[in-house]
Amino acid sequence: MTTMTESRLLQPELPAPCGQLSGAVVGVLRRNELQTEALAAAQAGAGAAEPYGRDLQLALYVLYELHYQGFRGVDADWEWDPQLLGLRRALERRFLAALRVDAAPRADAGQTLAELLVETTGFDAAGVSHHLQRDGELWQFREYAALRSLYHLKEADPHAWVIPRLHGRAKAAMVAVEYDEFGAGRADDIHAGLFAELMADLGLDTAYGHYLDAAPAPALATVNLMSLFGLHRALRGALVGHFATVEITSSPGSRRLADALRRLGVGAAAQRFYDEHVEADAVHEQVVRREVVGGLLSAEPDLDADVAFGVTATGFLEERLAEELLVRWRQGQSALRLPLPPG
C-alpha cells in the first residue's frame, strides 16, 4: 500500500458553484477577471442569504481558501482583492450574526468549558463518534473521513492565525500545543500527514480539498468557523474558545473512533491518527484550559464572553453536522452530495 504524508503537493480544483454567492466568487477566480456587477449583486444579497446554507458557506470556504492553499490556476493576487474581501466581509457578518443569536453562551467561559468535561456515556449516547464506535459501518466511516479531510488535511493551520495576537502565558502555551500538532519537528508526525495516511488506509483520495464538492453545508460551516475566528484579531477570544473545545473533546472522541476502526478491521495507519490524539490531546486539554485560556483571560479578562462564544458556536455547528450525518445514515442514505467510489 502506498501512503502519502504530504497531501498538499497540488492545489485543488475550484468547486462547482451552487448559487448566486458561490457563483460570483468562483466566476471571478475561474475567469481570472473581475465581474463587478456579479460581485456587487452578491454582496447586496448576502444579508438575506441563508447563513448556514451551502451557497453562503461554499462562497466563504473558497474565499478563505485563498489564504491557505489557493486553487489550481488561480492567481495568488486574488487573496487580497478589495472586492472579494468586501463580499467576504458581508458573508461573514451574516454568518456571525446568526451564530451570535443561535449559539449565544448562557454562562461565563469557565462554566462553559467545564460543561465540556462531562462525558456522555451509555448505549444511547448521541453523537457521530458514539454511533461509529457502536455500530457504524465502514462506508459511513469513509464518508466521515472524507468530510473531515477538509479540516484535517490542514489541521492546526486555522488556529495558528491567533499566535501573533496572543502574548505571555497564552502565547507560549499555544505555540507548545501547535508544535505537537505540526509533528514536534518531525515531518512524518505532522497530524495532517497522519490523516492522509488514515485516508489511504480507507481507500480515499488523499489530495487536499478533493472532497469539497461532496461536502454538505454543515461540514463546510465547521471549517469556516475556524477561519472566521482565526482571521480576525477582534475574534481572538472566540478562536481560543474554539481551540479549547477541540482539545477538550478530542481525546474521548478519538478513543471511540480508534475503537471503531479496530472493530471494522481497518489498517494500523488509520488507527494511528486517532490513537495519537487520545494521548496527545489528553495533555493538550490541560495546557489549553490552564495556560492558553487562563493566560488569555488573566491578561484580557474582557474577552471572557468571546471565549465562551467560541465554545458554544463550535458545539452548535458540530451538532448540526452530527444531525445531518446521523439522520441520513440511519435511513441507509449517503450523507455526501456525491457518492464515494468503492474503497
Whether residue 261 is found in the same domain as residue 297: yes
Per-residue pLDDT at 122: 39
Whether residue 250 is found in the same domain as residue 307: yes
Per-residue pLDDT at 125: 53
Per-residue pLDDT at 6: 67
Per-residue pLDDT at 278: 86
CATH code: domain of residue 300? 1.20.910.10
Encoded amino acid at 128, one letter: V
Instruction: Please indicate, yes or no, if residue 249 is contained in any of the structural domains.
Output: yes
Whether residue 306 is found in the same domain as residue 168: yes
Handedness of CA 13, 18, 23, 27 (dihedral sign): positive
The one-character DSSP state at 340 is P
Domain of residue 42: give its range.
20-102
Is the pTM of the predicted complex or chain greater than 0.85?
A: yes
Whether residue 117 is found in the same domain as residue 220: yes
Among 76, 102, 128, residue at a domain's last position: 102
Whether residue 119 is found in the same domain as residue 159: yes
Whether residue 288 is found in the same domain as residue 140: yes
Per-residue pLDDT at 7: 75
Whether residue 135 is found in the same domain as residue 213: yes
Whether residue 151 is found in the same domain as residue 279: yes
Quote the number of domains for the chain: 2
Whether residue 73 is found in the same domain as residue 210: no
Give me the torsion for CA of 38, 43, 45, 49, rounded to 10°: 120
Per-residue pLDDT at 281: 64
Instruction: Please indicate, yes or no, if residue 134 is contained in any of the structural domains.
Output: yes
- Block means of pLDDT (10 residues each) for the chain, 343 residues, are 61 97 98 95 97 98 98 97 98 98 97 84 66 96 98 97 98 96 93 95 96 98 98 98 94 93 92 86 85 98 98 97 97 96 85
Encoded amino acid at 267, one letter: G
- CA dist 292 and 83 (Å) reads 35
Give the count of beta carbons closer than 10 Å to the beta carbon of residue 282: 16
The residue behind cell 458554544 is: 312
Whether residue 63 is found in the same domain as residue 176: no
Per-residue pLDDT at 285: 86
